[in-house]
Amino acid sequence: TRTRALRITKRVLRVKEGKYHKGYLKVVLNIQNYTSKDISDVKILDFLPKLIKHFSEFGTLEPKHIQQGNHGLRFIWEVHKLHSGEERVISYKIEPQLNLFGNIKLPPASLQFTKNDKLVIRKSNVAKFELKREL
């Protein structure tokens, strides 16, 4: 099996903050360069639906742009160079608005770069998580 040149995966983790806090959710994007070459000017795009808000603090890398749309927010990160074999992790905290519970799906994140003057786009998986009703 041939491994893809560049891979992006998306997960949602539940982070507990002590006994009395309800904790928060964290979106983690994993970007991996499996090629033997460095890849330049990589854009990572992620979309956050309207019913979910993000905290203004970001993990390792701040987005270059945050665009507000009718259906939610779009985050755009720019990575100048992704070295061969390098793995980058981008994370941010989110919190569902209202009393959302049940199975929630976040749309795939995507990765864009130019190869031989063509735009290449890779999409991640859909991140699913379950919110239980707080008692």
- Token pair for 90: 């981008």
Q: Confidence band (pLDDT; 50, 70, 90) for 50?
A: confident
Supply the DSSP symbol for 14.
E
Burial of 91 (0-12, 13-18, 19+ CB in 10 A): middle
Q: pTM, whole model, 2 decimals?
A: 0.86
Which tens digits make up the pLDDT trace of 73-84? 999 999 999 999
Distance CA 31, CA 46 (A): 12
Q: What is the mean pLDDT of the chain?
A: 87
Do 106 and 12 contact (CB within 8 A), yes or no?
Answer: yes
pLDDT tops 50 at residue 100: yes
Q: Confidence band (pLDDT; 50, 70, 90) for 72?
A: very high
